[in-house]
Every structure is written in C-alpha cells, then in structure tokens.
Structure 1
Amino acid sequence: MEASNVSGLVGSEVWGYPAIMALCRLLTGGGWLAAKTVLALLAATGAVAAYGLALTSGRGRKRAVAAGLMVGASPSLLLWDAWGLKDGLTTSIVLWSLLVQTRARFSIACVGTMLSIYACLYLRPAAALFLAVALLARVRFRREYLAGFLVVVGAAALFVLPRLMTLVGIVDSLQVHDGTRLGFSGGYGSQNLLHHPQYLVTLLLGPFPWEFGPETAVPERWLYLGTIIWIASLFLGPTALRRAWADTAGVGRAAVMGASAYAAAYLATFGGAFYRQRSLLECVLLILVVLYLPLSPARAMMRIHVWLAAIAAVAVVHSPHLTPTTWSKYLAVCVMGLAVPLAFMYGLRHGAARRFRERHT
C-alpha cells in the first residue's frame, strides 16, 4: 500500500476536481479557461440555493434576497472561483443538499444527500461529514421516516463503510517516506489546532487585514474584505445560532449541526491558515446571521462598529507596519484610552437626548 492509494479509498481532490474540470471542458469544447468559467457558473447557483433556503425557513423575501446576495458576492468564494478552484462548487453542493433536505420528503432527501455525500468524498470529505450530520437533524422517530433511514443505512454500508474500514486499518502502517508515518493533519503546511492551539488567532482573524508589508503583495490580500465580514459574523453569530437551533422546521438546526461537525474536522485537520477550507464555514455562518439575527440592521451595524473598533485597536498595537516602534505602540494605546471614554460619554448624551425627544413628540 502506497500513500497515493489513500485518495482512491476515501476520495479526494486528486480524483474529483480533475474529473469535473475535464467534464466542463468536454461540455464547452474549449480550453481550460472555458471549463473554469463553467465551474464558476455552477458555483454561483449556491446563491439561488441560499435564497430558497431562506424562503423555505419562513424568513421573508428581503432576508432571502440578502442571503442570496451575500453568498453570490462572498469575497472568499469569488477569489477561489477566479482561480478555478473547487471551493465555490463544494459550497453550492452543500447548500443545494440542505435545500433538498428541508423541502423534500425524508426518503427523497436521503437519496439526494447520499449522492451529494458521495460527490463530496471526491471533492472534500469534511463537506460530506457536514451533510451527514445535517441529515441527522431531520430524523424523526416516525413510520414514514423508515424508508429514508433504510436508504441511508444501505448506501453507507455499500459505499462508505468499506472505504472507512480499509482506511482505518492502514493508518498506523502507512508511511509517506521511510520512517515518516501518515499523520492526522491537513497536509503540508497545515496547522492542526489540537496540536498547535497558538494558531487559533490565525483561524479567527486571519488573513490579517492590517498587514501591509511587502510580504502581503499576493492575491491572498483580496481575502481581507472577506476577513472583515467573517470577523463581524463571529460577533453576531452566538445570538443568531441560538435562534437557528430553535428552528427545527427550517434549515436552522440542520445547518448548525452540520457546520459544527465540519468545524470540528477543520480544527483537527487543516485549521490555521487554510482559508479555502474555512470558506464553507464563512458562508454558512453568514447565512445564519442574515436569517436568524433578531436585531434590526441599524442596531446590528452599531454593534458591528463597536466590535470592529475593538479589533482595530488590537490590530494597531499588533501590526509592525501600523506601529513599528515601541513608542508608537504606547502612543496608540494612550490615544485609544482617551477615545473610549469620550465615545462612551457621547453615546450616553446622544441616547438621553433621543429619549427626551421621544417623550415630547
């Protein structure tokens, strides 16, 4: 057994992505640029799926349009699509599968989910875990769910279990090179957060939008806008996730469970600076925030401004380009220390004036 056979046992991008690219090239009759364009168009249908998920969950047309636009204009997904990578396609498959799980009968949802799981095994196995756990959220102990449960068990026994058992049996004996055993990680350059928890800040805040040095003159700088959206979503996420968990009829609880399973696999394997694998989490979290946040847009933006200001204060002190010397860091801390009470006093005075006007109008 060689290391190259692992992809054939569980499926990976080594098999799935080139096959999809070859199919797109065959359909267009053109070159690789035409194939990548078709792949990007397929990935863009994830915006339609997000719109359908919002309507199915009873969120209203305005929130549905906002969710679709957020997915379609996601800076992270646009960057990977521009490179012709598979991240937008994987996200689209997951969103369409969630829509089928939410709208279709359970037996049909099981068939569609198993097909999507098998496709994800050859694109990104962690996304298959997302779909499998999300399907569990739809399970009810009723007679009409028996057929779907039998479909899942039969398909898992036929397709998933043989590969899983074979892989588990060879993990301890497989060697990439002589004396170098196969480790549980995301590959070269990955930062397993279970082994390296110091990279947690990189996961939550990276790629750092306050880095302006010459080493940042790479295409990854286009992810800075996506990082800001991701950081804002992290602040609004806990409130939205509580309401999403209570939504058992819509997509809420299924998306929370699936995203949690995917996040656990992501932390244990890739983590750190593997922002491509994080793009699915970004997309799902953003959808949940748009659909389930119980705040008005004005109040949400006010809280986001305060949160981003706190992150900016950390960035000013942290960045060697914004504050290159120790004295500049001290000066920045003093200025921010004066600005916080002034802003707090202004907020109290403005709030008191607004309440006075409301009482006398």
Structure 2
Amino acid sequence: MAVFTVAAVLHVGVVLVVHTQTNGYALFPDAQGYESTSARLAAAWRNEGPFETRNLSGLVGSSVWGYPVIMALGRVMTGGGWLAAKTVLALLAATGAVAAHGLALVSARGRKRALVVGLMVGASPSLLLWDAWGLKDGLIVALVLWALLVQTRARFSIACVSTMLGIYACLYLRPAAALFLALALLTRVRLRREYLAGSLIVVGAAALFILPRLMTLLGLVESLEVHDGIRLGFTGGYGSKNVLNHPQYLVALLLGPFPWAFGPETAVPGRWLYIGTVVWIACLALAPTVLRRAWADTHGVGRAAVLGSAAYAAAYIATFGGSFYRQRSLLECVLIILVVLYLPLSPAAAMMRIHVWLAFIAVVAVVHSPYLTPTIWSKLLAVGVIGLAVVLTLVCGHRWGTVRRFRDRRT
C-alpha cells in the first residue's frame, strides 16, 4: 500500500501539473488522436449504449483500438473528460510499482530491494511523462509486470491462463508486448506431467483466440499507410529508422533522445524526456553484469525478464527502431528492476562504473554538440576536464577501497 500510494501520488500529480500547464491540450500527436477518439466514443456510448467489438475497429480507425476504448470507458465511468480519464489510467499505471515490488519478493531478493524497486518503477521519469501526456506506455508496463508476477508465482496452469489473457490484451494495445509475455512463459515450461494441462491451455487459446487476431494484424502489414505514401511494414514506419536496414540509428536507439541536444530547435516539451534517458544510459553501464546474473535465476523473474526483453527488443529493432522512444519504456523499467534485484556489485563499485560510463558519454556529447562546445578549443578543454575528473574519481575510489580493506582487517 505504501508503494502504491507513493506511485499514485506521483503519477496523478504529474498528470495534473502537465494538464494545467498545457490548458488541457494534447502535446503528442498520438495523444491528440486518443483524446478526440475517446471523446467521440464516450459521447456515442452515453447516447446509444455499448458497441459490439467488431465495430470498434471502424469507429476508432485502427485495428489496435484498445487504448482509446479504455480511455473512453474512463470518461464514461467517471462522468468527466480527458483529465478524469487520464487520472484513472494513471492510477492503473501506478499499480505497476506494486507488481515490481511483488516480483522482487517472489524472487527472494529481500524486502529492502523490493521497496527500492517498487519506488523506482513508480517514480520512473519516462512513465510519469507518458501518463501525463495521455499515452499508453504506463498501462502497458503495468500489464506486463502483473503478468510476469503471475507467471513467476502461480501454478503453471494458472500462469498459462493469465498469460493468454495478457497476450490477447496486448494484441489490442501493443502487439510487440505480447511477444514479451509469450517468450517469458517459455522459461517456466518443463517436460513433466503436471505441465501438460497448462500446455493444452496455451495451445487451445492460441488456436481459438490468438491466431485469428495475429492473422488480422499481419494482414495489415504493408497495407496500412501511417502517412501518405508511407506504408506500415517492417521498414520502420515513421522515417524508416529500423536498425536492421539503417545501423546508424543504433546510437539513437541506445542513447536517444540525446540529453546534450539543447539547441533552439529542442525547446519543446519533449525535452523532459532527457531525464528518463539519463537513467536509461546509466543503467546500461551495469547491464552486462546484471543480465548474466539474472539469466542464472530460473526460479525468480530473472530469466523470464531477460528472454522477454530480448524478444521485445528484437521486434522493436526490426520495426520502428531508433525513432520510437516510447516503446523503449518497457525495456527501461525491466532493466531498472533487474539492476536493483541482481546487481552483484557494491554501491561504491556500481557508482564508479556508472561515473566512467557517463564520462565516456559526456565526451561523445561535447565532441558532437555545437551548443555545448561551439569551438574546437572548447571541445578540447571539455574533453580534458572530463578525463581529469575520471582519473581523480578512479584514484579516490582506489584509495577509499584500500582504506576500507585495511579497516576490515583490523576489526
């Protein structure tokens, strides 16, 4: 309850602040579509009653109609407008922090780490921002984390039922997240008699519900135009920035939106994304060590999270790639969870590694940014200062480690 309260206050608070500061105007193009579509659906529901499921695709204008429909339901249930719907969705997204807390406890990582991981997910800058803008990423993260919790904690047959429900919901929200849940479930499969019932549930549900929906979505590939003349396919959609066809966008995928891009053209609300980007970049310094240890945990959430994230990242790289930072929010939250739960380093060693990594990123920033360092001499000076800071950090860290070891021997 404490974790949920903190997460709920943060999510709802940021929603209220952003809504007030923007006079209730949607800042993101997708959010504008969700706001107008949900308003139209809510008005129609109040006047005509609920629609049949097969009509929703035409009413929304998209085969992935889940989020505007949920937003419209929030409007109808509260009797309010877009702010009321965003508040309800923010509260649902805040439950993801509770699921993260439960994952830590199920993975036997201790109550302190469970509390930290719950608070970090609840205070994720990226998720707070997407909720405030009226986008669906916080809701998707909460759905995936709850499905992971059931997969890890419940019996295999119950885990199969919940996973199929989660996959079916994701196919109407974000199909790539369904791939995450499907691959995560594979880590629980065992060649034993008691797992036969769950396997039959998976096969039956996939044949009856999942497969027809997948065929519908695959039939839209290369036929749906996201802009005039630009078809939605496995080529990147907006701007064709997938990493397979355009490897140069790998840097944008890992480090974007670039926190050092503070030119006049970046004076937009999207600049708030830089906070979440810094957290993501810092976690990348610990990712190799953390992923190895998480993969070895077959009883907790470790291996399931790693395998699901790999599948989700592969789908992300092969489609939209470096241009869709929103889709990376799920990977950011999962990586934060894995860092807190499976980091084998001491806090001092972890901070040392993060400092060195951020120094390298800072060198890249000052070399490429014309606003931070406009001249060649300013670039050289900045690189020298950063290098000196790294050396001093390493020397101080080594001396502090030596002093601690000496004190431990004496005691």
Deviations 1:221-271 (A, max 9, x none): 112111111011111111111111111111111111101000000111111
| 1:96 equivalent in alignment to 2:134 | no
Scaled by the length of structure 1, the TM-score of the pair is 0.90
| 1:308 equivalent in alignment to 2:354 | no
2:140 partner amino acid: T
Cα 1:54–1:180 shift into 2, 3 Å: closer
| 1:320 equivalent in alignment to 2:367 | no
1:168-183 → structure 2 map (5 Å cutoff): 168=218, 171=221, 174=223, 176=225, 182-183=232-233
Equivalent residues of 2:152, 2:301 under 8 A apart: yes
Which of these residues, 241, 246, 257, is aligned with residue 291 of structure 2?
A: 241
Q: Which residue of 2 aligns with 1:252?
A: 302
Which of these residues, 117, 135, 141, is aligned with residue 167 of structure 2?
A: 117
Equivalent residues of 2:241, 2:323 under 8 A apart: yes
Equivalent residues of 1:12, 1:124 under 8 A apart: no
- Please give the alpha-carbon distance, in whole angstroms, between the structure 1 residues aligned to 2:259 and 2:127: 17
- Please give the alpha-carbon distance, in whole angstroms, between the structure 2 residues aligned to 1:249 and 1:47: 21
Deviations 1:168-227 (A, max 9, x none): 56757x474998765314422351111111011111111111121111211211121111
- Please give the alpha-carbon distance, in whole angstroms, between the structure 1 residues aligned to 2:97 and 2:117: 8
Equivalent residues of 1:13, 1:124 under 8 A apart: no
| 1:36 equivalent in alignment to 2:91 | no
Deviates more, 1:318-327 or 1:85-94: 318-327
Q: Which residue of 1 aligns with 2:203?
A: 153
Cα 1:182–1:284 shift into 2, 3 Å: closer
- SS of match in other structure, 1:140: coil
Q: Which residue of 1 aligns with 2:155?
A: 105
Q: Which residue of 1 aligns with 2:132?
A: 82
Which of these residues, 52, 64, 72, is aligned with residue 22 of structure 1?
A: 72
Cα 1:348–1:281 shift into 2, 3 Å: closer
- Please give the alpha-carbon distance, in whole angstroms, between the structure 2 residues aligned to 1:167 and 1:31: 31
Cα 1:337–1:112 shift into 2, 3 Å: closer
Cα 1:56–1:340 shift into 2, 3 Å: closer
2:134 partner amino acid: G
Q: How many residues align?
A: 354
- Please give the alpha-carbon distance, in whole angstroms, between the structure 2 residues aligned to 1:189 and 1:144: 49
Scaled by the length of structure 2, the TM-score of the pair is 0.80
Cα 1:280–1:41 shift into 2, 3 Å: same
Deviations 1:304-354 (A, max 9, x none): 122212211221222111111223223333444555555555555555555
| 1:289 equivalent in alignment to 2:289 | no
- Please give the alpha-carbon distance, in whole angstroms, between the structure 2 residues aligned to 1:344 and 1:199: 32
- Please give the alpha-carbon distance, in whole angstroms, between the structure 2 residues aligned to 1:216 and 1:333: 24
Equivalent residues of 2:189, 2:195 under 8 A apart: yes
Unaligned runs of at least 5 residues, structure 1: none
Equivalent residues of 2:359, 2:390 under 8 A apart: no
1:333-344 → structure 2 map (5 Å cutoff): 333-341=383-391, 343-344=393-394
- Please give the alpha-carbon distance, in whole angstroms, between the structure 2 residues aligned to 1:211 and 1:51: 35
- Please give the alpha-carbon distance, in whole angstroms, between the structure 1 residues aligned to 2:360 and 2:239: 30
- SS of match in other structure, 1:272: helix
Equivalent residues of 1:12, 1:121 under 8 A apart: no
Equivalent residues of 1:186, 1:192 under 8 A apart: yes
Equivalent residues of 2:238, 2:320 under 8 A apart: no
- SS of match in other structure, 1:84: coil
- Please give the alpha-carbon distance, in whole angstroms, between the structure 2 residues aligned to 1:255 and 1:16: 24
Shift of 1:86: 0.6
